Amino acid sequence: MKRQIVLDIETTGINKLGVHYYGHRIIEIGAVEIINRRITGKNFHVYLNPERFIDQEAFKIHGISNNFLKDKPTFAQVADKLITFISQSELVIHHAPFDIGFIDYEFKLLNRSMISKTFVQVTDTLLLARKIFPGKRNSLDALCNRYHIKNIHRTKHGALLDAKILAEIYLIMTGGQTSINFNLTQESNIEQKYKGKNIYFPLSHEDKLKVIYANNKELSEHRNILDRIEKQNSKCLWKL
């Protein structure tokens, strides 16, 4: 069983050049569980009291206020729960050095060791996206547009919402399919029941697929495009 945790954080500052070294803190953690390339629906989500003020620039991005966080737990109070959730998993993070740096800083404030011993490895989806789309914008919004993932509800950054979006993006980028709240036990039972058997499910009359053929205008336009391809490349593999 391969377990992955897609993780995202929000912070009191927005400088991505190691802002945690200047005393900024984590104010929200969101994490989504993936098992065997399926989103299970099991999440970890918490807002945190950073014990300091939030920069105005950061507030404009995530909309989380100091007043909202004043009765929330501190990182120290949720540290063990976080470790338990991500233990023995591969972390999937967009711009991993930023998030890992902040989490590392929070643990150092508690005089505790870095959490790297609790997870197997870290996959940085920003680096992965840059390899797939070199020279292009690879923010979450840009990747949503590229992969046709609806994110109109994302008016502000949010750790859990961004983690859910990133989970979908990651599975698509790495060639998989998403399935939310899938019953893994049920899937295993079905596989065992039909293992080694050839199962055929014929389509009913209502289920038969409708075939839509190209009209004469569409066929003519298609031939014109193939002609242009042939002129540019001397041979067109799709031309009959």
Residue 221 known to bind ligand? no
> 3-183 belongs to which CATH class?
alpha beta
* pLDDT for the residue numbered 14: 73
φ, ψ of residue 98 to 5 degrees: the values are -65, -55
The pLDDT of 170-191, averaged and rounded, is 61
Q: Is 157 among the residues known to form the active site? A: yes
Q: Work out whether the CA dihedral 161, 165, 166, 168 comes out positive or negative.
A: positive
Residue 90 known to bind ligand? no
> Mind listing the pLDDT tens digit for each residue in 52-109?
999 988 898 898 999 999 999 999 999 999 999 999 899 999 999 999 989 988 999 9
The type of residue at 150 is K
Tokens at residue 172, please? 């698509």
Query: Please, are residues 140 and 158 in contact by the beta-carbon 8 Å criterion?
Result: no
> Mind listing the pLDDT tens digit for each residue in 125-146?
999 999 999 999 999 989 999 9
* pLDDT for the residue numbered 182: 46
pLDDT value at 201 more than 50: no
pLDDT value at 190 more than 50: no
Domain boundaries, the chain: 3-183
> Mind listing the pLDDT tens digit for each residue in 37-58?
999 999 999 999 999 999 988 8
Chain CA centroid to CA 89, Å: 15
More confident residue, 220 or 173: 173
* pLDDT for the residue numbered 96: 93
Residue 191 known to bind ligand? no
Please give the Cα distance from 21 to 101 (Å, whole number). 9
The pLDDT of 171-192, averaged and rounded, is 59
Query: Please, are residues 25 and 12 in contact by the beta-carbon 8 Å criterion?
Result: yes
Q: Catalytic residue among 20, 24, 94, 157, which?
A: 157
Residue 80 known to bind ligand? no
Instruction: Report the candidate in 61, 120, 125 with the shortest Cα–Cα distance to residue 95.
Output: 125
Question: Comparing 19-23, 66-70, 215-219, which segment has the lowest mean pLDDT?
Answer: 19-23
pLDDT value at 176 more than 60: no
Q: Which helix (H) or strand (E) holds 184?
A: helix 184-194
pLDDT value at 196 more than 60: no
More confident residue, 1 or 233: 1
Q: Kindly report the average pLDDT of the chain as a whole number.
A: 82
